[in-house]
Chains A and B, each alone.
Chain A
Amino acid sequence: MTLAETMVAIERDEFAAEMNLAAGTKAFRRAIREHELFDRLSELAKENPSEVAERIETISRSAVDERYENPFDTALSAYLMALCDVAGPEIASKIVQAVLRTPKTWWASGLARELLLQTVAMGAIGVGVDWRNYARVNEWFVALHSSSGRETTMRELLDAVSAGQPTGRVSNVIEFPPPEARTMSHVVPKAFLKRKKGSARPQNIAAARKRA
């Protein structure tokens, strides 16, 4: 079976139906990993990761019926899992962003968000934790926290993301300054900035923060 044939089989409704039997996220990912088509895909993706990445890009640009879930949702999840097993953080972040641009995905976008956070954390905090063992990002974050051997708070993670964004180049790769170069920044929630003058308290907080 060639890579193209494997991808055709993975994109069929039958594969999606089989994988969507899973009761939850953990079971869905395990079901994909245990499927023989995924084994084949993983082998072939090692030899030709760019073809799988191109397929993700193509799917991300294709039109969908807004009434329904993206028919490639399950296939995209399989491609993401296979590629991220063999690709480095830079390629991973590119394909993750392509998946996040793809409309009406559910399983794949959940997976992509977690991978994005992983690439962020690896770049910013320098702690690599294998996300595949964890069903949910909160679970993964607890593991990240305990394995880092130091205090790594959710706020720090958000600050790292905040500091990293402006340094991103023309490519979609998110780059982060080293931890020591980061400065603390406060995030003012959008809702607070939008308030009218009548509801003064939140604005005062924002103003006080600015003054500080």
Chain B
Amino acid sequence: MKKNLLHLWLFMLMAAVSFSCSDDDDKTPETIKLEDSWKDGWSSQKVLDIAKGQRPAPSVYLDQKYIDFHLAQFNGGATYLVTKSSLDKYGRDTLGYPDNTQFVMTKAEMDAMLTKTAKDISKIETELGIPAGSWKGQEMVRISISDPKALNVRVPSGNEMGANSLWLPGGHLPTGYSEAVINKIPKGKYTETPL
């Protein structure tokens, strides 16, 4: 009898613990979706309707939780692709657009994309939304930044020099890869490797 009561008590204790652990408030979600992160009254289209140069900071229209989650993906490093001829032409002392911005992808997504495309340049162009043939016959270089936080990694506002007519608010390329912006990159803060 005593044994049965003990079993019953243990069962109730385990059920209570299980119930407590299933409480959604205590869960750290694996992902925070952009579509769930717009502040009241804002949408992607509303941001796009504002002219480049006058768009607000992402913190105006996106929840801070989303911004933190998005930028945490760059803790493992940031990276981008460029032609060797551009590096030869413009120099290696400081990289990035004159407005102190440079778009980057996460190291993990770049690694996965290069594996997926087997480094086929025309496939990489498609994945990144680069006009077909832009890199044909070019020597390509991968620029890697191990500590993007030190270069003020941030969600793009759409006002950056590199933001074109296809730019989308929220830190993703039209093809889905995560992107962010960092400051200009001085020599010593990046590594250059042939693709």
Do A and B come from the same complex? no
